Amino acid sequence: MTDAPPDLSTLSFEAALSELEKIVARLEQGQVPLEESIAIYQRGEALKARCDELLKRAEARVETITVGADGTPTGLRPLDPQ
């Protein structure tokens, strides 16, 4: 990785996941020098945290449509009320 990686706070879930998958593939090949392995592993941990954060935000916004006895929509409620 010669170019500076993008700022995590600007990455979408899809972009962060894609970069994380590339890091995993590189590490699985086992041909990355130790120092670079450590650096990309750390980047991978940060990407994982970003994905987790974005998923939690999305889950908080997901709602379920409630329906009345006749099957017509009556409103919304949180998907997983706590």
Residue carrying structure tokens 């450590």 = 38
Which domains, ranges and CATH numbers included, belong to the chain? 8-78 (1.10.287)
Structure tokens at 52: 């987790």
List, for residues 36-63, the tens digit of each pLDDT value. 999 999 999 999 999 999 999 888 777 7
C-alpha triplet 56, 10, 40: angle, nearest 5°: 85
pLDDT at 1: 46
CA distance linking residue 19 with residue 78, whole number of Å: 31
pTM, entire model: 0.71
